[in-house]
Structures are given as C-alpha cells and as structure tokens.
Amino acid sequence: MLKFNKSRIVYVFDLEGTISNCEHRKHLAPRAPFNDPNKSWDKFHAEFPNDEVNEAIYNIMQALWLQGNDLFILTGMMEKHKEMAKDWLRSNGIGYDAIIMRQNDDFRTSPIFKIETARKVFDGLNRYNQLVLFDDREDIVDIFNSTKEFDYSNGHKMTLKAFKV
C-alpha cells in the first residue's frame, strides 16, 4: 500500500474562462431555449484560438511550474478540440503535465463530468493526497468543496480544495 510521508499536491486548472479569457465569444454559447441559429458550441469553440491568456492565472501557473509542482488541466472541452487546445497552450508558453478533456460523446453537466473524471483519473494515478482546483464556475468549485475528499480504492484519501477564479 502506498504510504504518503509528505504532501503530494496536484494543481488542476480549468481552461476556458480560467487560463483563457473567453468573454469575447460568450455570445456564441447556446442558451435556453436553444432556438438561436447564431449560437452553438461549435461556433463558440471555433473562436477559442482568439482567446487571450488570463495574465494572473498564467503567473500563478508559471510560478507553480517553475517550482516543479504537478499541473493538470481539466476542461469540459471535447477531445475533438485537443489539437486546438494544445496548440493554444504551446503558443502561449504555458507549462503543464497533462490535459484531461471530455470524450466527444460525453454530455454530462460540467460539474458532474469534472468531479467524476477527477475521482477516476487520480485514483488511477494513486500519486497525490491533495487536489487544488481553480475554475471560473461556481457550480464546479462548489461540487469539489462540498465533496471535500476522495476515497482511493487502496484506502487512502485525497483532500479537495477549489478556488473560484
């Protein structure tokens, strides 16, 4: 059984609206009653390459990265956009260890997708005892903070702390 003798923290960042500033394309995101032909998720994501970096979050990530911490990106963007996302991160000089995206046929809500995916991925890695999440969505921050911890299948725990950006 893995024994933690010091804190092993993984820092997890959302992409759109957290690392990137997507304000300029929010008008393209579908909204109830979903009958506006000018709005769609494809249109919304097509403008992603034009997002600017959120400088404050970039500075936090860069500092953590240079200290040798483990940085993950957990985004509700689908796998079909992976190259676009990776190109954007590369061209903006953002260092990270791994990016976790939504499968193309996964239509769970973002809070459910993120908490269930994090639980599965980090249990599988079995390497961390603390997860620190940064996200611009209140409902995502809330689900992590109210869940408080994951029980690993080996009996260890991972504590969760989320911050709203």
Closest by alpha carbon to 150, among 164, 2, 128?
A: 128
Closest by alpha carbon to 128, among 1, 11, 10?
A: 10
111 near Mg ion (CB under 5 A): no
16 near Mg ion (CB under 5 A): yes
Q: Which stretch binds Mg ion (CB under 5 A): 23-31, 117-125, 131-139, 154-162?
A: 131-139
Q: Which is nearer to Mg ion, 40 or 110 (CB)?
A: 110
Q: Which is nearer to Mg ion, 29 or 123 (CB)?
A: 29
Q: Which is nearer to Mg ion, 21 or 40 (CB)?
A: 21
- Which residue in 51, 122, 136, 141 binds Mg ion (CB under 5 A)? 136
**Burial of residue 110, with CB atoms counted within 10 A of its CB: 0-12 exposed, 13-18 middle, 19 or more buried:** middle
**Burial of residue 100, with CB atoms counted within 10 A of its CB: 0-12 exposed, 13-18 middle, 19 or more buried:** middle
**Cα 41 to Cα 105: distance, rounded to the nearest angstrom:** 14
- Which residue in 17, 122, 131, 133 binds Mg ion (CB under 5 A)? 17
Q: Which is nearer to Mg ion, 156 or 161 (CB)?
A: 161
